[in-house]
Amino acid sequence: MTTKILLAEADMPTHWYNIVADLSAPPPPVLHPGTHEPVGPDDLAPLFPMDLILQEVATDRFIEIPEEIREVYRMWRPSPLHRAHGLEKLIGGPARIYYKYEGVSPVGSHKPNTAVAQAFYNAKAGVEKLSTETGAGQWGSALAFACSLFGLDCEVYMVRASYDQKPYRKALIETFGATIHPSPSSNTEYGRKMLETDPDTPGSLGIAISEAVEVAATNEEVKYSLGSVLNHVLMHQTIIGEEALKQLALVEETPDVVIGCAGGGSNFAGLAFPFVREKMAGSMDPVIRAVEPAAAPSLTRGSYQFDFGDTGQMTPLVKMHTLGHPFVPAPIHAGGLRYHGMAPLVSYLKEEGLIEATSLHQTETFARAVEFARVEGIVPGPEPTHAVAEAMSEAEKAKEAGEEKVILFNLSGHGHFDMAAYQAYFAGELEDYAHPQDEIDAAMAQVPAVAG
Ligand SMILES: Cc1ncc(COP(=O)(O)O)c(C=O)c1O
């Protein structure tokens, strides 16, 4: 009975997959925040190096991973695909459960898959420093690590709620050589404005993005780096799904259900997009499902329309499922899922009916994660507890129906820096929040009406 399905380093995929090449129509354009006209590569140049801008708008199906990036990936990639024997025994049903484990990376999550690529292309373009935001701290530590490898300075704006909950993530970010500020901070004009309005705000990813973008937009030697949402970020993550396809082929399995948690959509897309490609090609027909928190339910309760990527209206407008850019979600422990929007490509696939979405409450996801940890030996990060919970429910449903389903999910990171969340769970202090409809309506009322 194999538990870890492993690929040799030589079998690591050599290309990222760009799903845009396989869509029936080009995805909606990205619009300028001021004029609401489609932006061209030059409009994005103050924020990103040209190689990444070209990847953002690329239409090639596959893009080769430069050897310098593959060399770094080999520190932890290919990542293992685990057969969840312990979980299968616990549930006692006919389902076969597999999970791709991204917690083996140096910072404990999938985030370095794109951080390393982004740092590489920025260094190649002669950029000196990157600014970014971080929710859970996973992205901040990934970019700090990647910048240290390629000789770049790095400045991280960490959502206040997570900054307070996760002191060791902050220490990790500093260990890799980056500077870190709680967001909102008094460092930026936008941060100062937010602090004046509400000095006790827990912050949000939308606010932290505005601060990091402001730093890049007002300093020539600084560029901005985003850990999710954008097309090129999702594409860098597809190495996860490309590896998983190869690994499942080794054990002659085809998934019936593919599951990932979704904050901005990058780990979900990373696992799912290669399977969406196979589904579109007719070689398999899995249900592909994103799982989000009930406290930030963009895919399940948001509107599909153009909105800003940040609270301060500095980023371009993208068409996505959104709860409204002014939305400040409740301080749930899955900090990386507290975002008002969703990746445009994930949103588009949901509209096309190629993927589906559901939402869960955190007390349920932590209860499931504890069960998982006790039989599989891995403590999931708060974000992937949502994927764990959904996979376990699917396996239970398969048991009730007597169906031999093959379930694949992404365990996007471990929770070793998130033990305060588990402590709160055991102390009975975790609260569930369903985001109130009147707050969604109020935030959506501030979204500009843009046709399309
Ligand atoms: C371990 C982990 N999983 C998932 C997420 C959610 O982000 P995304 O939806 O881009 O994968 C985060 C974000 O910080 C994370 O740290």
Residue among 207, 238, 410, 220 nearest 312 (CA): 207
Question: Ligand 1 centroid vs 408 CA: distance in angstroms?
Answer: 17
Task: Report pLDDT for 227.
Answer: 95
Structure tokens at 167: 């002191």
Cβ neighbours of residue 422 closer than 8 Å, sequence gap 6 or more:
366, 370, 379, 415
Judged by DSSP in three states, 433 sits in coil
Question: Ligand 1 centroid vs 136 CA: distance in angstroms?
Answer: 8
Residue among 40, 33, 80, 55 nearest 209 (CA): 33
Task: Report pLDDT for 206.
Answer: 87
Task: Report pLDDT for 452.
Answer: 66
Q: What is the dihedral of CA 368, 236, 157, 119, to 10 degrees?
A: 140
Residue among 228, 245, 449 nearest 342 (CA): 228
Please state, in angstroms and rounded to a whole number, the distance separating the CA atoms of residues 78 and 80: 7
**Residue in the structure block whose two tokens are 């941060």:** 191
Whether 228 contacts 266, CB under 8 Å? yes
Residue among 312, 329, 293, 343 nearest 204 (CA): 329
Residue among 447, 204, 194 nearest 302 (CA): 447
Please state, in angstroms and rounded to a whole number, the distance separating the CA atoms of residues 406 and 94: 9
The type of residue at 214 is E
Q: Is 135 in the pocket of ligand 1 (CB under 6 A)?
A: yes
Q: Which of 360, 412, 417, 418 to mutate to test the pocket of ligand 1 (most atoms within 8 A of CB)?
A: 412
pLDDT tens string, the chain, 452 residues long: the values are 899 999 999 999 999 999 999 999 988 999 999 999 999 999 999 999 999 999 999 999 999 999 999 999 999 999 999 999 999 999 998 999 999 999 999 999 999 999 999 999 999 999 999 999 998 899 999 999 999 999 999 999 999 988 988 889 999 999 999 999 999 999 999 999 999 999 999 898 889 999 999 999 999 999 999 999 999 999 999 999 999 999 999 999 999 999 999 999 999 999 999 999 999 999 999 999 999 999 999 999 999 999 999 888 989 999 999 999 998 888 778 878 888 999 999 999 999 999 999 999 999 999 999 999 999 999 999 999 999 999 999 999 999 999 999 999 999 999 999 999 999 999 999 999 888 899 999 999 999 888 76
Task: Report pLDDT for 330.
Answer: 82
Whether 113 contacts 267, CB under 8 Å? no
Task: Report pLDDT for 327.
Answer: 86
Residue among 256, 412, 419 nearest 336 (CA): 412
Whether 261 contacts 358, CB under 8 Å? no
Task: Report pLDDT for 329.
Answer: 81
Question: What mean pLDDT value characterizes the chain?
Answer: 95
The type of residue at 205 is L
Judged by DSSP in three states, 86 sits in helix
Task: Report pLDDT for 307.
Answer: 96
Please state, in angstroms and rounded to a whole number, the distance separating the CA atoms of residues 224 and 398: 45
Question: Ligand 1 centroid vs 305 CA: distance in angstroms?
Answer: 23
Task: Report pLDDT for 335.
Answer: 76
Whether 245 contacts 286, CB under 8 Å? no
**Checking DSSP bridges between strand 303-308 and strand 222-224, what pairing results, if any?**
unpaired
Q: Is 262 in the pocket of ligand 1 (CB under 6 A)?
A: yes
